[in-house]
Chain A
Amino acid sequence: MVFAQLIIYGIVLGSILALAAVGVSLIFSQLRFAHFAHGDVVTFGAYFGLLFTGTLALPLYLAFPLALAATGILAVAIDQLLYRRLRRSEPVILLISSIGVALMLRSVIQMVWGPDNRNYGGGGVSFPYEFLGLRIKPEQIVIIVGTVLLVTALHLFLTRTKTGKAMRATADNASLARVTGIDTERVILWAWIITAVLAAAAGLFLGLDTRLNPMMGWRILLPIFAAALVGGIGNYYGAIAGGLIIGLSQELSTAVISPAYKPAVAFAIMVLVLILRPRGIFARRREAG
């Protein structure tokens, strides 16, 4: 029974990681760099939620979509102000620039909302449903259902829309995509919007499940990267599976080792995958490096 309970927690954490990991994978496949500010975009999504629920006192179902949109605008603004000007540099310069962005985002959150833990209010404590001796909080059902909806929307976007197809083409072969007339700047713009919306959802869900803190996104950056790497960086569906694998392993590990070492579990799986299958567990035979 304890085992089944840990699986539920693992799916909740895994959903959050999956949403964030898709973005890391998406940005890597379009712009060829590991986005180190991703954790802090997650945090910003969560705090935008706080802004709309707390300060503006909107109900959750209105506040959350607004927070997603606001985070999308933020990411596009950062790209246009900074990353776009560095597109011609080597990708590592973008990586270092994203570290600076991470610092700036985190300090803005500290300046505006302060360093203390916060939550979305509503009394703070919600009573879990119980069935078959398992406990699940209403928030956790919202997280799982929300993740399924967002992943379905992502799938439809990637397979049914022109921009989505262009995005997959650019990920496979950027120069070929460009000569076939794909507007890569437009694709990049959409990649940032999707990345930020999914990251913001991850932040909102993490805030719902636990609480808000200026460091919340930075703390899950390592598991997010681990999820993206396990899935094979640049493989969006792999990133979703990677998120669930990392989330489940982190929660299940608490049955065996001290919960203090949860982040180490993500790292250990990542290192194993790097040694055994450096292109991810779902790697196809040929893939652009």
Chain B
Amino acid sequence: MDAGLLSYLVFFLTLSGVYMILSLGLNIQWGYNGQINIGIAGFFAIGAYTSAILTTAPTDIHLGGFGMPFFVGALGAVLAAGILAFLIGLITLELRGDYLAIASIGIAEIVRLTLKNEGWLTNGVRGVPAIPKPFADVFPGWEDEVFLAVVAVFVVLSYLAVNRLFHSPWARTVRAIRANEPAVQAVGKNILNYRLQAFVLGSMFMGLAGSLYAAFVAFISPSAFDPMFATFFIWVMLITGGSGNNKGAIVGALLIWGIWSGTEMLTTSFLPDDWTTRASALRIFLIGLLLEVVLLLRPQGLFPEQPPKVR
């Protein structure tokens, strides 16, 4: 296989892995519990920046870096995203779903403004460079391939964990809250606690995805966390794949990212430059249209939710 194609494949699969983890995180929130998080980009960005600040070598241009190993960075990312989710969840999860949706775009916006304007912390719009990859010196020259393996391990572990969770009594309660809240309240469950747990847990996966993304691209700036790619795409992935089904979350991520990347290759190779911006708008239009078609014709997605059998 020629080197260009191989490196493109590695690039494609690594980002697919990041999207899969984001999609699994959203599945805990929306698929299991019916929460509408339109601020995925915020949790993703918090994870990426936390991990970047923890793992980069000491520098003057932003806070830290603390030169920590990747796994400390990833842990920090997960915790930071979780804490942010806890604070916002405390305020909004008691209210009806639309309020969380509205508040979550607020959170994403505040995160974006902070990253952009607090130069001492994040180097502002100039971004954080030189984020190291783990195990980069194991096979010199193959850093990206090694990192793809790391991402693959995280995807498999996340999938197994989220899927194991699906079969737990905890998830039964969380899904029951989505289906019939008063009934769950009547059997004496603390609804707010369960909601908060689902929201925090899902956001932690988004933070984890952020740390992987930062290490992969090695340079992050606020513009990388555009709501289009870091929020809306995840929704289309999960809805198309199948809300509530973890296999659906994985396949949806691969499918939508595949369509997006595939059509990008088509338009950049066949169209003149001044048409590619218009073509990219057309591709976004088609992604939006796909979401509507799925909602109208197959709202359960490719892989419908399959409640575990009661034994």
A-side interface residues toward B, CB under 8 Å? 28, 33-34, 36, 82, 85-86, 89, 91-93, 95-97, 99-104, 106-108, 110-111, 114-115, 221-222, 225-226, 229, 233, 258, 260-261, 263-264, 266-267, 270-271, 274-275, 278, 289
Contact = CB atoms under 8 A, between A and B. Distances in A.
A34 B96 CA distance: 11
A82 B292 contact: yes
27 contacts: A34-B102, A36-B38, A36-B101, A91-B98, A93-B295, A95-B36, A95-B98, A95-B101, A97-B292, A100-B236, A100-B291, A100-B292, A101-B288, A103-B228, A103-B232, A103-B285, A103-B288, A104-B288, A107-B285, A110-B277, A114-B278, A226-B106, A260-B116, A263-B110, A267-B103, A274-B92, A274-B103
B6 interface: no
Contacts of B285: 103-104, 107-108, 111
B287 interface: yes
B36 A267 contact: no
A222 B39 CA distance: 12
Nearest to A105: B288
A85 B284 CA distance: 23
Interface of B: 34, 36, 38, 91-92, 94-99, 101-103, 105-106, 109-110, 113, 116-117, 228, 232, 235-236, 239, 277-278, 281-282, 284-285, 287-289, 291-292, 295-296, 299
A274 B299 CA distance: 31
Given A95-B98, A110-B278, A271-B91, A100 B288 contact: yes
Nearest to B107: A267
Contacts of A225: 102, 105
B106 A85 contact: no
A261 B295 CA distance: 36
Contacts of B94: 278
Contact of B106 (A95, A111, A270): A270
B185 to A, nearest CB: 15
A89 B117 CA distance: 41
Contact of B105 (A33, A91, A108, A221): A221
Nearest to A271: B91
A28 B98 contact: yes
Given A97-B292, A107-B284, A278-B99, 16 more contacts: A33-B98, A36-B101, A95-B97, A103-B228, A104-B285, A106-B284, A107-B285, A110-B277, A111-B278, A115-B277, A263-B109, A263-B113, A270-B102, A270-B103, A274-B92, A274-B95
A264 B42 CA distance: 14
A89 B300 CA distance: 12
Given A110-B278, A111-B285, A274-B95, A92 B34 contact: yes
Nearest to B284: A107
Contacts of B289: 100, 104
A258 B98 contact: no
Given A34-B101, A101-B288, A96 B277 contact: no
A54 B247 CA distance: 50
B259 to A, nearest CB: 14
B277 to A, nearest CB: 6
B98 A99 contact: no
A261 B102 contact: no
B282 A111 contact: yes
Given A96-B36, A100-B291, A108-B285, A260 B299 contact: no
A148 B288 CA distance: 36
A33 B295 CA distance: 16
